[in-house]
Amino acid sequence: MKHWLSKRAALFESSGIRKVFDLGAKLENPINLSIGQPDFDVPGRVREAMIEAINTKKGGYTPTQGLGILREQWGEKLRKQYPHHTDRNVFLTSGTSGGLVLTMLVALDPGDEVIFTDPYFVMYDPLVTMCGGTSVPIDVYPDFKIDVDKIAAAITPRTKVIIFNSPANPTGYVATRAEIEAVALLAKEKNILLVSDEIYSMFCYDAPFISPAEFNPDVLVLDGYSKTHAMTGWRVGVAHGPADFIEQMLKFQQYTFVCAPQVAQWGALAATEVPMDDYVAAYKRKRDRLVDGIGDLYELGNPAGAFYMFPKAPWGTASEFVQKAIERYSMLIIPGGDVFSRRDTHFRLSYAASDETIERGIEALRRLAKDPD
C-alpha cells in the first residue's frame, strides 16, 4: 500500500489537536479545555432557517460563489465598511479553512515563501507545505506582539504571502492598530499578498476589531460563521478581496469544494439577525476568570481576544506538562510544539467551555504549577 502514497503525504503528520480529541473521547468526565469551538449552541433563529431550508428542499448545489442573496448581504456590508474599495469582491467558501486552502492553491508555486508569526494556527504550516511552498515563521515570543521589522527582514524575492491572524489562535493576542497598519502597508509596499484570517473578529474584549483591509485595499480577508455562531460543522466561510484573485479562487472551488452547503448558507443569512453581544460578554467573563485564577502562576501573554490562552509551561516542556495534566487530572490541553509552534514551551487552553469546567481547570492548573511531581 505504501507505493500508493505520494511524497506529499509523508511531509506532515495528522493534527495534534485531533489526537487530543480522540483521547478525550476515551476519558470519563475530563476537564476539556482543548476544543476550539463555541460551547453555546447554534442560535435558535439560525437553526430554524436551516430546518426551513431542509423542509423546502433547498439542499442542492448553489452557484459556486454562493447564494446571491447572501453574497449581496455581504456586498452591502463591505461597501459601507470599505467605501473606497472599488475592486473588492466576495464569495462563500466551504468554511474558513476551505478559504485558506483555495488561497494557497491560487497563490503558491513550488518554492514560494509564506510568512506568518509563530505561534500560528495549526493549519498554516502543513497547508503551505501541501501546496509546495516554504513556511517562514516569525518568532513573536514571549509577548506575541507583532514586530514589523522582523517581518520585513524575512522578506526575500520568493516571498509571496503574509498570513495575518488577529485575534489570534492559539495565543488570543489582538494586534494593535499601529501593528496592523504597519503590516498592511509593508505588504502593499512590497507587493505581497496579505491574507487576513478574521474568523475571531467578533471576539475582541478590550478594544474594537481592526482589519488590515482598512489600510490596504488589496488585502484578502477570510471570515466565516463557525466561531461567531457556533456553526463549526456547517462549513460556511467568506472570502473577500481583489476581484481578479477572487475569480481564481472561484475557479479552484469549482474543482474542489464545489460550493458551501446550501442549507447552512440559509442559516448564515439568518445569522445577521441574531444579536451576539451576550455571547461575547460571556466569553470575556470566562477570560477574566482564567486570568484571575492562574495569572499569578503562569505567563499568559495578553489574551485580549478569540477564546484561547497560550500559557508558558511552568516546568518541563509543554509536551511533558500536558502529559502530566492528562495523567493526573484527565485535563485536555494542547502542547504548542509540533502543533502551533516551533517551540515546545507553551500550551493552548480554550475557555470555550462551561463555567464548571473552567473552575475545575483552574484548580488543576494551580496544583500542577505548584507540584510537578
**Per-residue pLDDT at 24:** 58
**Per-residue pLDDT at 17:** 59
Q: From CA 184, how far away is CA 187, in angstroms rounded? A: 5
CB 336 within 8 A of CB 310: yes
Q: Classify strands 113-118 and 159-165 as parallel, antiparallel or unpaired.
A: parallel
**Per-residue pLDDT at 38:** 85
CB 223 within 8 A of CB 251: no
Residues of the chain with pLDDT under 70: 1, 14-26
**Per-residue pLDDT at 108:** 97
Using DSSP, state whether 244 is helix, strand or coil.
helix
**Per-residue pLDDT at 21:** 58
**Per-residue pLDDT at 371:** 82
CATH class entry, domain 2-42+276-368: alpha beta
Q: Residue 250 is which amino acid?
A: L
CB 237 within 8 A of CB 92: yes
Q: Which residue's C-alpha cell is 499569578?
A: 296
**Per-residue pLDDT at 42:** 84
CATH class entry, domain 59-271: alpha beta
What does the pLDDT look like over 181-196, one tens digit per residue?
Answer: 999 999 999 999 999 9
Numbered ranges of CATH 3.90.1150.10 in the chain: 2-42+276-368
The grid coordinates of residue 308 equal 484561547
**Per-residue pLDDT at 363:** 96
**Per-residue pLDDT at 36:** 83
Numbered ranges of CATH 3.40.640.10 in the chain: 59-271
**Per-residue pLDDT at 11:** 77
CB 347 within 8 A of CB 331: no
Q: From CA 202, how far away is CA 185, in angstroms rounded? A: 24
Tell me, what DSSP letter sits at residue 300?
Answer: -
Task: Look up the pTM and report it.
Answer: 0.93
CB 344 within 8 A of CB 317: yes
